[in-house]
Structure 1
Amino acid sequence: MPDYTAIQKDFYRESGKWLSTFEIWKKCINPNLHYIYLFRKAQKSNKKAISGLFWRIVLRHFQIKYGFQIYPETEIGEGLYLGHFGALVINPKTKIGKNCNIAQGVTIGQQNRGKNEGFPVIGDEVWIGPNAVIVGSINIGNNVLIAPNSYVNFDVPDDSMVMGNPGKIYPTTEATNGYINNKV
């Protein structure tokens, strides 16, 4: 496989096709893809350079416009897929792996006190459903499905589904089978 950029890999997740720069620009009419494009540009640029400042200002404008709070400092692996736009909050110290799907209304945040004080680390191939809440210094494994409206403040092993509030873990090797498409 050629050496594709993170932007190309993110857009591949949406279409299943490797796109040229022009084709990527055409797809930026979609708010989710537009935000991912700006996010990756702000991440890649030197924040002390004028171009870095430019991309951060543009990203901030679209954070407000689209309702995404994902900051350039957030470590997110390639193949990010945002299912819908609006009301998405991810703490900048969160770490997210490759090929992750994040739906609308999701909060991934810090816990300020208690045994899980800190920020989540999320593995590869994780599907996070609408309105899920993930908080604290916890580890979410690889191949994990977090069902809509779930509350997760505990570690989740690989190959699992989490459902409910409070969340309950259901082990399965096919947790994200059919949910994570066009992997990079």
Structure 2
Amino acid sequence: MPDYTSIQKDFYRESGQWLSTFEIWTKCINPNLHYIYLLRKAQQYRKKSIPGLFWRFVLRHHQIKYGFQIYPETEIGEGFYLGHWGALVINPKAKIGKNCNIAQGVTIGQQNRGKNEGFPVIGDEVWIGPNAVIVGNVNIGNNVLIAPNAYVNFDVPGDSVVMGNPGKIYAAEDATKGYINNKV
């Protein structure tokens, strides 16, 4: 496979096609893809002073416009996919693996005290449903589906589904089958 950029890999997840720069720009009419584009640019230029400030400023404007609170410092693997736009909060110290889908209303946050003080680490091929909450120093394995409205403040092994509040884990080898499409 040719050496595609993170932006191309993120956009591949949406369409299943490798896109040119022009085709990527035309898809930026979609708020989700537009935000991902700006986020990746801010990440790319984060350590360069003038371009970094420019992209951070543009990203900040669109955080307010679209309701996404995802920062350039957040480590996010390739093939990132936002299912719907609005009301999404991801702590800048959280880590997210490759080919992850995140729906609207999700919070991936910090826990400030107790045994799970810290930030989540999310594996590859994880689908996080609408209004799910993941907080604290927890590890989410690969191939995990976190159902809508689930509350997760505990480690989740790979190949499983988490449902409910409080969340309960159910083993499932095909947990994200049909949910994570066009993997990179």
Give your verdict on TM over 0.5. yes
Greater displacement, 38-47 / 82-91: 38-47
Tell me the TM-score normalised to structure 1 length.
Answer: 0.99
Residue 56 of structure 2 corresponds to 56
1:14 alignment partner AA = E
- The alpha carbon displacement at 1:47 in A equals 3.5
Tell me the TM-score normalised to structure 2 length.
Answer: 0.99
- Is residue 27–residue 34 contact of structure 2 (8 Å, CA) maintained in 1? yes
Q: For residues 152 and 135 of structure 1, what CA distance do their matches in structure 2 show?
A: 6
Does residue 84 in structure 1 map to residue 84 in structure 2? yes
Residue 141 of structure 2 corresponds to 141
Tell me how many residue pairs correspond in the alignment.
184
Give per-residue Cα distances to partners, 1:8-62, cap 9 Å, x unaligned: 0000000000000000000000000000000000000044421111000000000
**What SS is found at the alignment partner of 1:158?**
coil
Residue 109 of structure 2 corresponds to 109
- Is residue 81–residue 101 contact of structure 2 (8 Å, CA) maintained in 1? yes
Q: For residues 49 and 149 of structure 1, what CA distance do their matches in structure 2 show?
A: 40
2:41 alignment partner AA = K
Instruction: Output aligned runs, 1:36-51, within 5 Å.
Output: 36-51=36-51
2:152 alignment partner AA = V
- Is residue 111–residue 117 contact of structure 1 (8 Å, CA) maintained in 2? yes
Question: Aligned-residue CA RMSD in angstroms?
Answer: 0.6
Residue 16 of structure 2 corresponds to 16
- Is residue 97–residue 125 contact of structure 2 (8 Å, CA) maintained in 1? yes
Unmatched 5+ residue regions in structure 2?
Answer: none
**What SS is found at the alignment partner of 2:104?**
coil
Instruction: Output aligned runs, 1:27-42, within 5 Å.
Output: 27-42=27-42
**What SS is found at the alignment partner of 1:78?**
coil
Residues 48 and 2 from structure 1, CA distance in 2 versus in 1: closer, same or farther, beyond 3 angstroms? closer
The percent identity for this pair of structures is 87
- Is residue 135–residue 152 contact of structure 1 (8 Å, CA) maintained in 2? yes
Residue 155 of structure 2 corresponds to 155
- Is residue 47–residue 53 contact of structure 1 (8 Å, CA) maintained in 2? no
Instruction: Output aligned runs, 1:93-104, within 5 Å.
Output: 93-104=93-104
Write out the 4+ residue segments of structure 1 that deviate beyond 3 Å after TM superposition.
none
Give per-residue Cα distances to partners, 1:57-94, cap 9 Å, x unaligned: 00000000000000000000000000000000000000
Residue 118 of structure 2 corresponds to 118
Q: For residues 85 and 128 of structure 1, what CA distance do their matches in structure 2 show?
A: 14
**What SS is found at the alignment partner of 1:170?**
strand
Residues 165 and 78 from structure 1, CA distance in 2 versus in 1: closer, same or farther, beyond 3 angstroms? same
